[in-house]
Chains A and B, each alone.
Chain A
Amino acid sequence: MNRHKPDVRIRKTKSVSIQSYYPMWFFLPAGMIYGLMFLVPTVASFYFSMTHWTLFDQRFIGLDNYREFFNEPFLLKGLINTFLFGFTTSAGKVVLGMALAVLLTSNIYFRGLLRSMVFFPVLVSTIGIGITFTMLMDPNSGLINQALAAIGVDGPRWLIDPDLAIFSVALVEIWRGVGLATLIMIAGLAAIPTDFYEAARLDGATAWQQFWRITLPLSRPAIATVTTLSLIDGLRTFDLVWAMTRGGPGFASDVLASVIYKQYQAGFYGLSTAGNVILFVVIAVVALPIVAYLNREER
């Protein structure tokens, strides 16, 4: 063993371009935490996803759980809903976040106060938001439909209508998450030098042209960050859906994560572990190309 050690080190310094400033022992604590808390569970979850597991005993069954998972009657519905939810919330947060950021970087009164208010929903527990909105969106006694009725509009049946339920939840998710998106966008806008706008105004550019030609292209790093974060958040979403509809009515608002959770609840531990591995792969497959595309040409 000892004789091999120098070899390893030489190879390492060759292949790793950034030179390590610290001796090996310096990495030991972090390495142990990483191994114990991340490496072992990851490997274990791949193993348990291939077992028939009742918590009391497990039996290796190869890829049967994966076969079973793809036979899940509501897998397709769950997948479609997952993508619908991920993309609508992500788009909503980017568009709304950008609009709010433009508003909140302008010279308005109470800017600091307004900026913090848009961030408040981020600080509230998701489950609390879910329960609150379930009551607000009640078709008969909910405040939203009562308010709509007061101005003569017959409100939709938010969480009860099977075609609408997932979008109602998405709407709440946008409200919940737009604060963080706005914050990132504000940082992005603040980084754009004011000279560009002055030059554009001298050339007679309209407000719309300034936004389209200067603000939008130059805040691409912020947009990329918001898109990536909210897309991943949206694809693995669970808590809000569970708090508001539990995947219902029936199976109408099931997402991948709630399908998996229901399998776990039913005591199908191996099967739900396989589902989690699949969820991980799905997110990676969808998110990675988008991240790569958005970050292209960046230094």
Chain B
Amino acid sequence: MKTTRTFRSLSLALPAFIGATAIASSHDPVELSLLSDNSPNSVAVANALVAAYQERNPNVEISVEIRPGGSEGDNIVRTRLATGSMTDLFIYNSGSLMQALNPSRTLVDLSDEDFMERISPSYQSVVAQGEGVYGVPFEAGMGGGIFYNRGLYEELDLEVPTTWDAFMENNAIIDAQTDVAPVIGTFGETWTAQLFFLADFYNVQQQDPDFAEEFTAGNRQFANSEAALNSFRRIQEVHEAGYFNSDYESAGYEDGLRMLVEGEGAHYPMLTFAVSAMLDNFGEESVENIGFFAQPGDDGNGLTVWMPGSMYIANTSDHTDEAKDFLAFVASTEGCEAIVETIGAAGPFLIETCGLPDTVPQPVADMLVYFQDSDRNAPALEFLSPVKGPSLEQIMVEIGSGFRDAQSGAELYDRDVSRQARQLGLSGW
């Protein structure tokens, strides 16, 4: 690195003396910009991919810009796209949030590119609008479910539950026989309260296969669909049984991970991307004692799958071809390797030429079991429907804190959802 930098400053100074015959490369380096959200995972992956790509393509320089995450980040991305001031490349969610970007008018269509053939069709469907396909996955697929303490399960001779009743029985045993909090709640960061609800969608779909379609059309409400209403009841039952840690109302996500790793809590409902954070914060041994299972349902369970976030090209870019070349690299075996080297193997890649290393962290191995059988996994609702109410996290906090029950929470969410659908201009609402 150091030598390249010295060379660069030299090559700036030299032409002044030698003129046009200077040794500088035949064409000027192309400069690209990449906007990433500020989560440690995204930043690390973005930098690693850029470094690996630049090593192979010294004539391209990619600078990484950082933006806030969450709703604030959504607004930044929408505003920059709407005003034509977006970077060449940017990282953003797939699924319902991507649909709100008006991709056919703001993004570059990648459907005809050769590298798209390597990308799994199930992923492509969540970054598509109409005929166009707009994104490339920059991370691994994820699952939503429940992390658990394997040592504690062994000690108390518990079995990994597949039904909700079995899960609650395990909680009762943990509550009675140990000081460990059966379930970790971290409502201080409200988004974490949504997991019992969101990760239950596989189970909803098992009982009501048309739910996503009917829901998008405005024909199905949560409050009067038995299967979907159950998703709201889960957190209520855990709260009423008093299974949360004592500081569940103020603890945050990082606290939750620490409690899990240090054995203060037995279960933590979360997305599997947390594995990378645990590896990063607490070291490699920390996750050996941690396992993962899909959210238990009424009878049997399966994994609710989250599609990876994506990289997109803004159609205001002056260097579309170079940006496409970078995406081709991201969607290649070398790209996946760069990701695994940086944040470890957090889940299956949606790029068909990419495998996983022989040894993966324990929770990831537990999750991969569900991917082997296509009947045991299904996408989360936000990848099947553009409708997702913005107040869900607050409503889940209310149910999980006992301010309101599942029924009234579901009714409130139905109102929230119908307002969003009207704002999206969907028909039938």
Contact = CB atoms under 8 A, between A and B. Distances in A.
B247 A140 contact: yes
B401 A250 contact: yes
Residue among A73, A246, A250, A271 with the most chain B CB within 10 A? A250
A266 B394 contact: no
A256 B412 CA distance: 19
Contacts of B102: 54, 56-57
A263 B187 CA distance: 21
Given A55-B78, A249-B397, 14 more contacts: A54-B100, A56-B106, A71-B419, A160-B250, A249-B187, A249-B249, A249-B398, A262-B390, A262-B391, A265-B390, A266-B390, A266-B423, A267-B423, A268-B423
B72 interface: yes
Contacts of A252: 403
Contacts of A138: 250
Interface of A: 52, 54-57, 68, 71, 73, 138-140, 157, 159-160, 162, 246-252, 262-268, 271
B319 interface: no
A159 B106 CA distance: 42
B82 A56 contact: yes
Nearest to B251: A140
Contact of B397 (A55, A159, A250): A250
Interface residues of B, number: 35
Interface string B98-111: 00101001100000
A56 B105 contact: yes
Nearest to B389: A266
A2 B105 CA distance: 48
User: Chain B: interface secondary structure?
Assistant: helix
Contacts of B397: 248-250
A232 B211 CA distance: 47
A96 B324 CA distance: 63
B420 interface: yes
B225 interface: no
Given A56-B102, A248-B394, A140 B250 contact: yes
A68, A252, A266 pick with most chain B CB within 10 angstroms = A266
Contacts of A71: 419
Contact of B75 (A160, A264, A271): A264
A73 B250 contact: no
Nearest to A65: B423
Interface string B372-397: 00000000000000000011001101
